[in-house]
Structure 1
Amino acid sequence: MVVGRLTIRKLTAADYEAVGRIGFAAWRSSGEGEPAFDQSDVVEAARSAFFSYPATAKGDVVVAEFGSRVVGWAAREDEPNYISDIWVDPDFQGQGVGSALLMCLVDHILGEGCAAARIDTRASNFKAIQTYERHGFEVFWRGEQFDSSLGVSLEKVHLAKSLR
């Protein structure tokens, strides 16, 4: 389990390649059972989105480092209480990295005085949903939603956690 030497810090330009690689690898590993994820155009759209994202990120982006290796990242974009991304290197999944990133951003949201934190994921991403629920998030919506970066509709869930 990764705990002792895990550091969470702000994204720097030196992290861009690792963030793209980790995001794409985590997306691939969590996409089992999603028929659209086998389409070459969807895979290429995801690859492009992950590798271009770090240089264009508009919000609060943090990385998790184990020793000197970036092993995950998370972001808040669009709204102050919305966690837009959490991605963990497949070799480090299930070791608390995602939970540490989640709680870091929840602390940022709480520190800004927001009453609730929100996050979305694919309905088939059971491990992520379990992690979010373990930290007090509850599903409040489930349905079909168009993913503009991939160009496909996916079944999604929206979760929220009261911070008051």
Structure 2
Amino acid sequence: MSSNRLPESSRPLNGGKSLILRPMMEADRQMVGHIGWDSWRSTGPLDRAMTDPAVAQKVKEAFLRFPFELALDVTVAEIEGAIAGWGARETQRDVISDIWISPDHQRRGIGRSLVLHFCETMRREGVKQARISTHQNNFAAQALYKSCGFETVWQGMERDAVMELEIPKVRLRRRLY
């Protein structure tokens, strides 16, 4: 986790509940992995290659390892004391690498809050643009990112290191200045 993090913030959600965005803590790590896996599964297979049980097992193992292995900038979204989702930036300061929301909490504004939080963090750090990518068939994610001011800048095949497959991806960008 980064030491120059913004303090935790609270904002109202659709439905009136308060959403708290805060840095991931040690006690959150296992839940963060499970939420990522549950969220990935909830999208359903986005293409035929993702229906392979061996691919799904690789993805599950990667999600469960992810919060323990890397020194990440991970922000969790908490509602009434429970983690409802999370987002991350890894090594590239201008890239939002992950946005994952628990299936029970999707479509309530949590993903949008996380994306905008990372954009504001990057802007404060002097980053000129934010980048994010998703599967070409993940139309819900693309709509979310576009509603946050991102625009598609590339579409094509890209190798996914976890799945060890070439998958159709979309890259999006938002200017911060």
2:127 to 93, 111, 114: 114
Q: Which residue of 1 aligns with 2:27?
A: 14
Given residue 100 of structure 1, which amino acid in structure 2 is its aligned partner?
A: S
Aligned pairs for 1:1-164 (under 5 A) are 1=14, 4-164=17-177
Q: Percentage identity across aligned positions? A: 35
Structure 1: unaligned runs, 5 residues or longer? none
Maintained 8 Å contact 2:22/2:75:
yes
Structure 2: unaligned runs, 5 residues or longer? 1-13
Given residue 75 of structure 1, which amino acid in structure 2 is its aligned partner?
A: A
CA distance in 2, matches of 1:31, 1:142: 21
Number of matched pairs: 164
- What TM-score, normalized by structure 2, do the two folds share? 0.89
Q: Which moves more between the two structures, 2-11 or 85-94?
A: 2-11
Distance 1:3-1:108 versus aligned 2 partners, 3 A rule:
farther
Maintained 8 Å contact 1:2/1:96:
no
Maintained 8 Å contact 2:46/2:138:
no
Question: Counterpart of 1:83 in 2: which secondary structure?
Answer: coil
Question: Counterpart of 2:134 in 1: which secondary structure?
Answer: strand
What CA RMSD, in Å, does the superposition of the two structures yield over aligned residues? 1.1
- What TM-score, normalized by structure 1, do the two folds share? 0.96
Given residue 11 of structure 1, which amino acid in structure 2 is its aligned partner?
A: M
Maintained 8 Å contact 1:81/1:116:
yes
1:108-164 CA-partner distances (Å, limit 9, x unpaired)? 111100110000100111001001001110000000001011111110000000011
Deviation at 1:89, TM superposition (A): 0.3
Distance 1:33-1:77 versus aligned 2 partners, 3 A rule:
closer
- Runs (4+) off by over 4 Å: none
Given residue 116 of structure 1, which amino acid in structure 2 is its aligned partner?
A: Q
Maintained 8 Å contact 1:61/1:76:
yes
1:7-48 CA-partner distances (Å, limit 9, x unpaired)? 010011111121111100111112334212211110110010
